[in-house]
């Protein structure tokens, strides 16, 4: 059975409309409360059929073939017959330094009369050779890099689908190109990682800070470590690739290393950049490219040292790993605007999900969903696409997905940033089938969190601790029914399932966080708004130190209004449904937050280390 291609799962399948769901016989304990088969290896149902749920229009990356006289044919396949495709092409502006964006200058339309699934367009690079267009010196160099965008109208979804890519040529021959990146990742005062992908196997090296750092062997994906960098310096670097007689040196880039003991720095936080409403670049293969690129660029302009994205990068919830890969690649297209000069730390959201889906004949709203297993799991794919620290926990259950690069911490100057994954090993009906419930943190990650918090508490060089995750721990609008709250875990509001164990684990995490005595704020997304909420001992007497919850879920996803039904509603100090991101300034013992709207206006401005009295 194949569901409609536009059968997007954009809300959690936690509403059971077919009656009470039975708790499994095997019981594990979390804070003394039953949680069914949560945390056990999932068993897929045999009584229901597996189904497909994918939003693919283009079935993979196009192929580019040079056909002579400076022309290239771009070919691709679509899932359903689509009319003539539109092609835009151009170059990267050679004098852009920190924000790098494609500049389309010419266009072409496919020459077909009726909708088809097999497509090809002719790109005539000679059109870019004219002096008034040739800023990249293509004619002088007998070739170079062409960047292109395909626009395909999908009649089933009644909207245009976009896909960006690039290729390199010399004369009438295709040559290797860097098609993703470069990205600068995990920057410390003396080290960094430069990651990138090429469209053909090449040997590669990075020239940085006067040293050459070579990859071990030919490949198409590279993560090259830079060591012994100069602290507190602007580091110039360039990527060089070669194969046979071909050699290519990419444009020079720069990034900055912090001082060894930085106490003054700035970073940006944003979340929930999955597709918005309105067409065009708001709906860019799973992401809101329009909002993302704007907020990324503003982070650079405001002098941020790095960006944290708190999850829901893309739409996800697809049964196709190809679809999942293509959505993440399009998100990385947006990251490329700043990623060569500034690290971006990605947090895994609930929409970063590639799933197995079973249709239970309408008993539940979106069927029964399981995180895929092994190398196809959401967590494994996430780790292949992004470069993040590998200092997270090991799974306690054999066969469970990895925590590597989706649960981690970053020490930057006098601060520790802890990245929690409260969407790990997602199963929609976890109490019955195993896996893990959205919003719940399993024991192995909980033990790791306590250890990381305790180390930060005892480390005299750390003044501030920040916590990041996708699901808001204290929701205020849009996700009161799920996340880490589930309307208090009340069985009457959860299809007969007692989910107090989720709330107990949430409180255990927040208690450990604030017990450091250094907790500043927990930063979340999921709810597509901005709100700032004071969580202190009036919310729970175990929360012995006050700390802020910041929800910044406004990087392009559709907005959610406020829900005042929650017990902490009177602790909300600021709320808006505007698109938003935040800038956090650390200045010694002082931490200040400013939240910005899409128009650049400041929508909140507060010193986070000045807590109001209870």
Classify 3 in phi/psi space as left (phi over 0), alpha (psi -120 to 50) or beta.
Answer: beta
Q: In the structure, what pLDDT confidence band is assigned to residue 31 with cuts at 50, 70 and 90?
A: very low
pLDDT in tens, 486-544: 999 999 999 999 999 999 999 999 999 999 999 999 999 999 999 999 999 999 999 99
pLDDT band of residue 614 (cuts 50, 70, 90) is low
| Helices marked H in 170-214 | none
Looking at residue 21, its pLDDT comes to 31
pLDDT at 16 over 90: no
pLDDT of residue 210: 87
- The answer to whether the CB of 162 falls within 8 A of the CB of 284 is yes
Alpha-carbon gap, residue 184 to 194, rounded angstroms: 5
The reported pLDDT for the residue numbered 28 is 37
DSSP, collapsed to helix, strand or coil, labels residue 409 as strand
pLDDT greater than 60 at residue 349: yes
Spatial CA neighbour of 442 closest among 31, 44, 42: 31
Distance of alpha carbon 328 from alpha carbon 348, whole angstroms: 12
- Return the domain boundaries, the chain: 188-256
Contact call for residues 187 and 306 (beta carbons, < 8 A): yes
Is it the case that residue 10 has pLDDT exceeding 80? no
Give mean pLDDT, residues 43-57: 94
- Dist CA 254 CA 239 (whole Å): 12
Q: Which residues contact 521 (CB under 8 A, 6 or more apart)?
A: 466, 467, 547, 548, 549, 550, 591, 593, 608
> Region 34-46: what's the mean pLDDT?
94
Q: Residue for token digits 């496919």?
A: 110
Q: What is the pLDDT of residues 315-347, one digit of tens each?
A: 999 999 999 999 999 999 999 999 999 999 999
Largest Cα span, the chain: 75
Q: Is the pLDDT of residue 217 over 50?
A: yes
**Pair of tokens at residue 532:** 């700032």
Structural tokens at position 93: 């502006």
pLDDT of residue 224 exceeding 60: yes
pLDDT in tens, 391-425: 999 999 999 999 999 999 999 999 999 999 999 99
- Residue 245 pLDDT class (50, 70, 90 cuts): confident
Read off the tokens for 552.
């910044």
For residue 209, name the pLDDT band (cuts at 50, 70, 90). Answer: confident
Quickly list DSSP for 532-593: EEEE-TTT-TT--S-EEEEEE--SSSPP----TTSTTGGGEEEEE-S-EEEEEEEETTEEEE
Q: How far apart are CA 160 and CA 316, in angstroms?
A: 18
pLDDT at position 18 over 50? no
Angle at 520 between CA 507 and CA 262, to 5 degrees: 140
Question: How high is the pLDDT of residue 33?
Answer: 57
Q: Are 284 and 371 in contact (CB under 8 A)?
A: no
Two tokens, residue 341: 């000069």
Q: Compute the distance between CA of residue 419 and CA of residue 412 in angstroms, rounded to an integer.
A: 13
Domain 188-256: homologous superfamily in CATH: Immunoglobulins (2.60.40.10)
Residue 583, pLDDT score: 98
Is the CB of residue 344 less than 8 Å from the CB of residue 338? Answer: yes
CB 143 within 8 A of CB 38: no
What whole-number distance in Å separates Cα of residue 527 and Cα of residue 550? 11
With tokens 């040079």, the residue in question is 66
Question: For position 97, what pLDDT does the model report?
Answer: 84
Could you report the per-residue pLDDT of 164-174, keeping only the tens digit for each? 999 999 999 99
Please, are residues 511 and 599 in contact by the beta-carbon 8 Å criterion?
A: no
**% of the chain beyond a pLDDT of 90:** 90
Q: Whose CA is closest to 189, among 236, 255, 238, 253?
A: 255
Mean pLDDT on 562-572: 96
Strands 306-309 and 344-346 come out as parallel
pLDDT digits (tens, 9 = 90+) for 268-291: 999 999 999 999 999 999 999 999
pTM for this prediction? 0.93
CA angle 274, 279, 284 (to 5 degrees): 45
The tokens for 545 are 């130190």
Q: What are the tokens at 211?
A: 């040293």
pLDDT surpasses 90 at 127: yes
Reading the block at residue 238, the tokens are 């360039």
CB atoms closer than 10 angstroms to residue 199: 20
310 or 4, which is more confident:
310
Sheet of 355-359: strand order equals: 49-51, 355-359, 368-371
The 8-class DSSP code of residue 504 comes to H
State the Cα angle at 69 between 61 and 65, rounded to 5°: 20
**Selected residue with higher pLDDT from 444 and 365:** 444
Give the pair of three-digit tokens for residue 111: 């020459």
Q: What pLDDT, on the 0 to 100 scale, is given for residue 88?
A: 98
pLDDT classification of 370: cutoffs 50, 70, 90? very high
Per-residue pLDDT tens digits for 81-108? 999 999 999 999 999 888 999 999 999 9
Beta bridge partners, 219, equal 202
Q: How far apart are CA 499 and CA 484, in angstroms?
A: 10
What percent of the chain clears pLDDT 70, i.e. is strictly above it? Answer: 94
């Amino acid at each position: 059975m194949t569901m409609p291609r536009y059968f997007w799962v954009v809300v959690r399948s936690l509403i059971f409309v077919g009656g009470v769901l039975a708790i499994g016989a095997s019981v594990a304990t979390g804070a003394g409360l039953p949680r069914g088969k949560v945390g056990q290896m999932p068993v897929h149902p045999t009584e229901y059929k597996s189904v497909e749920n994918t939003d693919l229009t283009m079935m993979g990356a196009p192929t580019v073939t040079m056909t002579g006289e400076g022309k290239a044919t771009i070919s691709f396949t679509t899932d359903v017959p689509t009319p003539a495709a539109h092609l835009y092409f151009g170059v990267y502006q050679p004098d852009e330094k920190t924000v790098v964006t494609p500049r389309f200058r010419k266009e072409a339309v496919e020459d077909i009369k009726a909708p088809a699934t097999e497509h090809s367009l002719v790109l005539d690079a000679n059109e870019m050779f004219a002096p008034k267009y040739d800023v990249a010196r293509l004619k002088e160099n007998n070739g170079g890099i062409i960047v292109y965008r395909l626009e395909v109208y999908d009649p089933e979804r009644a909207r245009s689908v976009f896909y960006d890519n690039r290729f390199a040529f010399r004369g009438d021959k295709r040559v290797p190109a860097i098609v993703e990146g470069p990205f600068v990742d995990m920057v410390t005062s003396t080290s960094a990682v430069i990651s990138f992908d090429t469209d053909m196997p090449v040997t590669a090296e990075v020239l940085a800070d006067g040293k050459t750092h070579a990859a071990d062997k030919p490949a198409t994906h590279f993560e090259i470590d830079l060591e012994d960098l100069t602290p507190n310096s602007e580091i110039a670097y360039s990527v060089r690739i070669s194969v046979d007689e071909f050699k290519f040196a990419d444009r020079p880039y720069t990034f900055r290393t912090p001082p060894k003991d930085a106490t003054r720095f700035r970073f940006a936080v944003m979340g929930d950049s999955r597709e918005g409403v309105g067409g065009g670049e708001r709906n860019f293969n799973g992401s809101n490219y329009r909002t993302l690129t704007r907020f990324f660029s503003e982070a650079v302009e405001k002098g941020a040292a790095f960006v944290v994205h708190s999850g829901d990068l893309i739409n996800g919830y697809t049964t196709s790993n190809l679809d999942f890969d293509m959505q993440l690649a399009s998100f990385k297209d947006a990251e490329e605007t700043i990623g060569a000069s500034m690290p971006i730390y990605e947090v895994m959201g609930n929409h970063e999900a590639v799933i197995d889906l079973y249709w239970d004949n309408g008993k539940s709203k979106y069927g029964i969903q399981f995180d895929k297993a092994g190398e196809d799991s959401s967590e494994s794919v996430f780790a292949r696409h992004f470069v993040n620290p590998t200092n997270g926990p090991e799974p306690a259950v054999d066969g469970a997905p990895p925590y590597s690069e989706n649960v981690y911490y970053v020490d930057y100057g006098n601060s520790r940033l802890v990245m929690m994954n409260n969407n790990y090993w997602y199963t929609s009906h976890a109490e019955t089938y195993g896996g893990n419930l959205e919003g719940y943190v399993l024991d192995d990650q909980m033990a790791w969190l306590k250890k990381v918090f305790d180390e930060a508490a005892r480390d005299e060089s750390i003044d501030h601790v920040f916590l990041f995750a996708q699901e808001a721990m204290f929701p205020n609008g849009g996700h009161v029914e799920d996340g880490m709250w589930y309307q208090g875990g009340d069985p009457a509001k959860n299809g007969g399932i007692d989910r107090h164990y989720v709330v107990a684990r949430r409180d255990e995490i927040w208690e450990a966080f604030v017990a450091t005595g250094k907790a500043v704020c927990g930063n979340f997304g999921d709810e597509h708004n901005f709100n700032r909420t004071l969580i202190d001992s009036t919310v729970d007497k175990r929360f012995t130190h006050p700390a802020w919850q910041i929800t910044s879920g406004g990087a392009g996803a559709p907005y959610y209004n406020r829900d005042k039904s929650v017990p902490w509603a009177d602790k909300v100090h600021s709320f808006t449904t505007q698109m938003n991101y935040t800038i956090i300034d650390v200045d010694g013992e002082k931490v200040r937050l400013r939240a910005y709207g899409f128009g650049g206006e400041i929508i909140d401005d507060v010193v986070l280390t000045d807590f109001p009295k209870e």
